[in-house]
Structure 1
């Protein structure tokens, strides 16, 4: 009887130790999980789509930060229909606590702000663990230049956190294979076309720099982001720098109250941009918000960009 009790105790301790070993790197932090989150909240459309792509809706109590600016992919809308949107924009700490959340998938400027009310540190006392979007880590420390691995890394880490590693690995491998096959058949010639990403803003444009996902998408499609040396992910620049870079193609990010067509017309009708190659030749391509930010629509976005860059 004593041997059975000892064996049971060892088994329980081994099980607890195994659970405690589930840890992931989240920006400059290591986050440990002793159990699978059961009441998760995701912020933003692209992060929510990552959760849904992994079939994690049964581990969620809601999402935030979508209807205030954007929309979910129509293919995923049905999957999220049973979940409430807890906040149309960034959630407050009270919103997350009120939902009895135990996990928050967000990023810097994707639901959290450095020094703001909602951060991993402010949520920790309430038992809410945070995993940060890899692309956004540049806000809290150094990171390599953006690549498709940023998005793959998030899916794989979510797989570890929620105990669906095989599902995550299969999904990421599917994305890798699809992209490799597409690039193998992509016909490019000459120097990569110069691309500028126009997110928003008229006085000064909000754009994608070296650490923002569009840079990786543009490069995968055979182009070059004219703001590749801009040591930011998403931030403002001045129009003078854009005119000087003379992009050949402008990628418009479509979301919010100002439509993609309105952004295009603003550039076409502004005399300051008249000599810009992209404007002279009316070469614009539109990406939806969730295509331009890390998430399941990135491969589709690369194909869309390549179609605009090259005659394939």
Structure 2
């Protein structure tokens, strides 16, 4: 899929980095092998010329303090505006391609590592895949949420995002840093959930990404489902065995969501999406529309990455306002 709180994560990352500043990449730490979708990928040393695709994957790299291992990023400005806080975190790193990169772009940057996902910088059968990049000396680590495009996997959960951070930690020999970062997210979320008022029943939620004739939304394998469940809701399209996909409006109307998540990115604003739903007579009896229960998540919050925890907290508060 294609398309502030970042200061908090930068601060957290810097704190973690400070506690592990003595860590260095020692030869005896390698080789390391990680599972990437249906492949095992072995690294003889930490990559030194990494490229990340998309804003959420880039933020994962930044949260782990891996800027010095990177030569650039791709796939942000072609769909989304680069937020000032992200630009500050990236520093002088260039955007090598506004949308998905070609092999030539990655070769031109002398890349030795590409962090991407299926429909997050790679397409099945496309020109840039782990198989096409391997002969060029570019190893690929695939975003776990996206693996459903090429293999069977379990339903999406927060563990998918945690696993990616931990695997990146192993790949770049900052494993302790990654463990502390993940533990911090888990503790923050658990403490928040423990104090939440109990819901009478899970709130029924629809994810509205884009599209008017047919909505583009998230099914059981997309990250919003994990966010919704962690916040006390249920995705009304949980039975759709896709990550991100189009459905018919009839399915949304029939399932009567009590809250609607608007994914904000691109040329159509979140408010325009809300106005479309509120002005369409076909949607007037949907409880979320009738009661104006819309929650806006930025693209970078709705896709796997460091901003997921803050997104869950906002969703949880919004869901409790429906009961």
With the length of structure 2 as denominator, give the TM-score of the two structures: 0.90
Q: How does 1:205-220 map to 2 (within 5 A)?
A: 205-220=215-230
Alpha-carbon distance, 1:16 to partner = 6.9
Give the conservation status (yes or no) of the 8 Å contact 1:147–1:216.
Answer: yes
How far apart, CA to CA, are the structure 2 residues paired with 1:300 and 1:75?
Answer: 16
| Contact preservation (8 Å) 2:29, 2:173 | no
**Alpha-carbon separation, structure 2, partners of 1:60 and 1:220:** 32
Deviation at 1:221, TM superposition (A): 0.5
Partner of 1:24: 34
CA distance in 2, matches of 1:16, 1:268: 60
Q: Which residue of the partner structure matches residue 162 of structure 1? A: 172
- Kindly tell me the number of residue pairs found equivalent between the two proteins: 297
Matched, 1:266 2:281: no
User: Which residue is equivalent to 1:298?
Assistant: 308
Conservation of the 8 A alpha-carbon contact between 1:253 and 1:292 = yes
* Candidates 190, 204, 208, aligned match of 1:180: 190
Q: 1:164-205 CA deviation, whole Å, 9 max, x = no partner?
A: 000000000000000000000011221111000000111111
Could you report, residue by residue, the CA deviation over 1:120-160 in whole angstroms, capped at 9, with x for unpaired residues? 00111100000000000000001110000000000000000
SS of corresponding position for 2:30: helix
Matched-pair contact (CA < 8 Å) for 1:42–1:105: yes
Aligned counterpart in structure 1 of residue 241 of structure 2, from 227, 231, 234: 231
1:310 alignment partner in structure 2: 320
CA distance in 2, matches of 1:173, 1:62: 28
Q: CA deviation at 1:76?
A: 3.5
By how many angstroms is 1:274 displaced?
Answer: 1.1
- The question of 1:249 aligning with 2:259 is answered yes
RMSD: 1.4
What does residue range 50-69 of structure 1 map to in structure 2 within 5 Å?
50-69=60-79
The match for 1:3 is: none
Offset at 1:77?
A: 2.5
- Where 1:219 maps in the other structure, the secondary structure is helix
Gaps of 5+ in 2: 1-25
Deviations 1:198-255 (Å, cap 9, x if unpaired)? 0011111110100111000000100110011110001111111111111111000000
2:136 to 120, 126, 129: 126
Q: Any idea what the Cα deviations from partners look like across 1:44-63, whole Å, max 9, x if unmatched?
A: 00000000000000000000
CA contact (8 A) 1:250 1:284 kept: yes
Quote the residue 2:17 is aligned against: none
Kindly indicate whether the alpha-carbon contact (under 8 Å) linking 1:45 and 1:71 is maintained by their aligned counterparts in 2.
no
8 Å contact from structure 2 (residues 199, 232) kept in 1: no
Unaligned ranges ≥5, structure 1: 1-14
- Secondary structure at 2:116's aligned position in 1? strand
